[in-house]
Amino acid sequence: MPQIITFIGWHDSGKTTLATQVVNTLKNRGYRVAVIKSSKETGISFDSPGTDTDKHRQAGADSIMFVAPDQMVLMTDNRNLSLTTLAHRFFPDVDIVIGEGFKQARHVAKIEVVRDKNQELRKEVTGVIAVASDLNISGDYIFRLNESAEIASFIEKRFLEDAGKGIEKAALLVNGNKIPLKEFVQDALAGTVTGFIKSLKFTENVQEIELRIKLNEE
């Protein structure tokens, strides 16, 4: 399952410019990257030349999802799924999901982009681990707006140094939320499900299994 980090900030703060530069740097370093962008606007064209989603595609993102009040592209109605649910459900095979927006996302690391001292969000939201700004701001992890390579290195060191190591044999999502599984539980769950699957017809050469169970509540 991927790591998740999101860039937050007011409109026109430079989130897209900085995020696309970070995506491009991580891609050039060999990581698989997906982007999920949120917007409060409606009627926005997806992936047209010059749009933010197009900029992420040009930066090299492997996958892009756009989330707005009236649409969610991948083409479907917006069911108000959380950022973590979107990342785990739709992009389980990338190394990291870069969000843009989602300032209220719970248990998600955030990098705030700030151009106006009166518009700081880190005092209002949780999970801000770094700030990108050209203002005189104090803190442990403060970057300039032109330091996308340094921000990518910060993300790489904090979230990606072990990418590809200890690959999960089994992942469990309950109501869209990932449940941590110890290695022996993964082994037991993978072995049990694989055993049942291999007893069925037309299941030769099994490489990967996806299982979804929906419980009917009375």
| Pair 189, 137 in one domain | no
Range of the domain at 23: 3-160
User: What confidence score (pLDDT) does residue 77 get?
Assistant: 64
Average pLDDT over residues 26-52: 88
pLDDT surpassing 70 at residue 14 = yes
| Pair 49, 150 in one domain | yes
Report the run of H or E that residue 98 belongs to, with start and end: strand 96-100
Quick one: CA dihedral 41, 52, 156, 117, positive or negative? negative
* Domain boundary pick from 144, 160, 176: 160
| Pair 152, 199 in one domain | no
| Pair 116, 188 in one domain | no
User: What confidence score (pLDDT) does residue 218 get?
Assistant: 55
What total number of domains does the chain contain?
Answer: 2
| Pair 189, 108 in one domain | no
Q: What is the pLDDT of residues 98-152, one digit of tens each?
A: 999 999 998 899 999 999 988 889 889 999 999 999 999 888 999 999 999 999 9
User: What confidence score (pLDDT) does residue 179 get?
Assistant: 85
| Pair 192, 139 in one domain | no
User: What confidence score (pLDDT) does residue 129 get?
Assistant: 96
Tokens of 29: 């370093």
| Pair 46, 152 in one domain | yes
Q: What is the pTM of this model?
A: 0.73
| Pair 16, 120 in one domain | yes
Q: What is the pLDDT of residues 53-80, one digit of tens each?
A: 888 888 988 888 888 888 878 756 677 8
| Pair 128, 31 in one domain | yes
Mean pLDDT (the chain, rounded): 88
> At 64, which amino acid appears?
I
